[in-house]
Structure 1
Amino acid sequence: MAHNLNFNERTQEYSFFSVKQPAWHSLGQVVQDYPTSREAIAFAGLDYQVVKAPLFAKTAEAGVDFAVPDQYATLRTDTNAVFGVVGKDYQIVQNSDAFAFFDAIVGGGDGILYETAGAIGQGERIFITAKLPGYIRVGNGDDVTEKYIFLTTSHDGSGSITAAFTPIRIVCQNTLNAAMRSMSNVVRIRHTAGAKERLEQAHRVMGLADTLGVQLENVFNQWAKVRIEDKEVKKLIQLALCPNTETYNLLKKGAEAELSSVFKNACDAAFGYAMASEAQQLPTTKGTVFGAYNAVTGYYQNVRNFKSDTDKMKSLYLGGKGQARAQKAFDLCTAFAKSGAAALHLN
């Protein structure tokens, strides 16, 4: 798998850090202790500023520069890398502001632990993962899921500031990235006037992490008690990974021979993970609905190949297929826990 981490030619270092365990092809810095926000910014090579610079055009005939009205280039000041073109209302949120968002959640101090951070491309997109206090415990308490917030923002005008509650199951590092029907797990903030102020206030909205964490713990413990047969796990995987109406109709007709090899291979790999992974042999997962859910999330986290770490991050955290399929699996498991095998019947 390739990577797309920023390499700073000036410092000759990759813009990434992780705590204790190397990640992203073992590039960047590995530190042994959880850093403060100020230390994390330096370790990850995110201590640069971005500015809006006037945009100029030159006429071919006269060769005269003139300013383009209400259009600006976003510029990284330490390398002079130009990230993109934005309008007059676009407000830059500096990298330090993103860490200030996390510090504000728990009022600073030792409550939040910065685990990874980095920059992609020329530094136009940054990401941060931070661990929150407390755990989600399933079964007798040995099956533990840690609570994280993942934040990403771009400096090229290509997207909003996104902060998402992302629990990660320790035993297999599965990202259990799903939302309840009544509650989102994501906060999005546009880069317009007042974005910095809204970012500073977003920690109030992220109180959902506590509420959603409690709700998910109750749901997962319920699922760990609901039995599901192997053939039903296979059907749930097929429905969760189903990419389009055509595939759904083939499943409905029972015409599995006509399914694409790509789809069948993905389903087989996910089912193989469900049956063989050590993380799927625990009392909480073996033959349970909780295990069926982890079969889908574990496939995207631990089995499926991605072209790059950036593609994997987009799939799991930024509204890509992995996140969408995990949500579909979550909804199917919710229905199965309530209605049994009838929830998997094709209409």
Structure 2
Amino acid sequence: MPAAIEKMVYAGDTPWHGLGTAIPRNGTWEEVRHAAGFYDVVEAQLSLPDGRIIPDRKALCRGDDGRYLSTVGSDYCPLQFEALARAGIIAAHNVEAIWHTAGTLGPAGVRGWMLAELPGVIRVRHDRTEIRKYVLLTTAHDGLSAAILANVATRVVCRNTLGAALKERGGSRWTIRHTANAEKRLEEAGRAFAYMTAEMADFEQLCNVLVGERYSEAQHLADIDAIIPLPNDEKPHPKLKKARERVAALFDTFQGVTPELRGTAYGAFQAWTEYLRDKHLVDAAPENPRTLRRAMASTVGEGANTASTALGRIITQTRIYMRPPAVPVAA
């Protein structure tokens, strides 16, 4: 199959490659596990031609059809896909119907991923869009790859988008190798992620406060000078100038702007989120509705650090004194 897909499921827009099984809504583990190609990993002894057992190596195979996956050391303890799913459910505060896309990739489906949409949508007054929270869980039984739990901005639907998601910087990530205590560490990572996403309520509260705060174009330009400064030299710096001009233009033209949002601190923040979304967001499904993507690139992945800096400056300039929200968690 193209895109290295063995099997997959998806909710929402059809992936660019047109493959996989569509589900009407986000599914539970039991609803997606077989359609996505997940399996249990079993171990098998290796032997020499004369029948002697190789003591320090073993083979990994699929438990459903016996296909060979890899050869690993004797101390390798495979993390099952079901263990990944449990960590995702913990991150979702024990809500089970969270799986937005999921699938297996490569020869024999050696690698798998699950993209969870966590419960709770952030809504801001006068803004018709929604901010949603996502977490990616992935591992491979190739003897080399660790399990990863991370918040991402990329909608994973194939090998390329999985790679793009794993290259994102600035978000929260846990990497867990296939060892004896891996399942315990994975569950701990899920609990930590659940705690972080709970703080998104602070972010929602802050956004609604920012809607009521006026913010001038002069203040916005001062933020640009601080965040995207032009070096004091004689070089032209066309990329920097283009970036500065883009953020400046978005001050009152950002997507979804309304009279109530124009000229507010929230509107200034949306200018940054739209700039960062255009700059960093990678998604191979072009029809994704903006209501599922609003501000995502600014609050997870590569744009998180810049967004946090911009938000910090806006809070300072408006003199809003609140406990800083967990902006880099997800959106």
User: TM-score, length-normalised on structure 1?
Assistant: 0.63
Using the TM superposition, give the Cα deviation of residue 29 of structure 1 relative to its aligned residue in structure 2, in angstroms.
Answer: 1.9
- Map Cα deviations across residues 128-171 of structure 1 (whole Å, 9 max, x no partner): 222333322223575432333332333343334214387x9xxx
CA contact (8 A) 2:115 2:136 kept: yes
Matching residue of 1:47: 38
- What do you get for the CA RMSD once the two structures are aligned? 4.6
SS of equivalent to 1:223: helix
Using the TM superposition, give the Cα deviation of residue 40 of structure 1 relative to its aligned residue in structure 2, in angstroms.
Answer: 1.2
Indicate whether 1:127 and 2:113 are aligned: yes
Range with greater deviation from structure 2 (28-37 or 73-82): 73-82
Distance 1:328 1:94, change over 3 A: same
Indicate whether 1:117 and 2:96 are aligned: no
Q: Tell me which amino acid in the other structure corresponds to 2:4.
A: N
Indicate whether 1:22 and 2:20 are aligned: no
Q: Tell me which amino acid in the other structure corresponds to 2:307.
A: A
Aligned length: 292
Q: Tell me which amino acid in the other structure corresponds to 2:191.
A: R
Q: Partners in 1 of 2:58 and 2:221 — Cα distance?
A: 52
Using the TM superposition, give the Cα deviation of residue 97 of structure 1 relative to its aligned residue in structure 2, in angstroms.
Answer: 2.0
CA contact (8 A) 2:251 2:268 kept: yes
1:278 aligned residue (255, 272, 280): 255
The structure showing larger relative contact order (alpha-carbon pairs under 8 Å, at least 6 residues apart) is 2
CA contact (8 A) 2:78 2:178 kept: yes
CA contact (8 A) 1:236 1:329 kept: no
CA contact (8 A) 1:16 1:118 kept: yes
Matching residue of 1:199: 186
Q: Partners in 2 of 1:239 and 1:54 — Cα distance?
A: 61
SS of equivalent to 2:199: helix
Aligned sequence identity (%): 25
Indicate whether 1:298 and 2:274 are aligned: yes
CA contact (8 A) 1:52 1:74 kept: yes
Q: Which runs of 5+ in 2 are unaligned?
A: 156-164, 286-296, 320-331
1:99 aligned residue (85, 89, 104): 85
Matching residue of 2:306: 328
2:195 aligned residue (208, 213, 230): 208
Indicate whether 1:153 and 2:144 are aligned: no
Using the TM superposition, give the Cα deviation of residue 28 of structure 1 relative to its aligned residue in structure 2, in angstroms.
Answer: 1.6
Using the TM superposition, give the Cα deviation of residue 329 of structure 1 relative to its aligned residue in structure 2, in angstroms.
Answer: 1.9
Distance 1:278 1:86, change over 3 A: same
Matching residue of 2:291: none
- Map Cα deviations across residues 303-332 of structure 1 (whole Å, 9 max, x no partner): 6585968xxxxxxxxx9xx72332222123
SS of equivalent to 1:43: coil
Indicate whether 1:36 and 2:21 are aligned: no
Distance 1:165 1:222, change over 3 A: farther
User: TM-score, length-normalised on structure 2?
Assistant: 0.65
Q: Partners in 2 of 1:254 and 1:305 — Cα distance?
A: 31
Range with greater deviation from structure 2 (156-165 or 208-217): 156-165
Q: Partners in 1 of 2:31 and 2:57 — Cα distance?
A: 34
Using the TM superposition, give the Cα deviation of residue 76 of structure 1 relative to its aligned residue in structure 2, in angstroms.
Answer: 5.1
Using the TM superposition, give the Cα deviation of residue 41 of structure 1 relative to its aligned residue in structure 2, in angstroms.
Answer: 1.6
2:5 aligned residue (4, 7, 15): 7
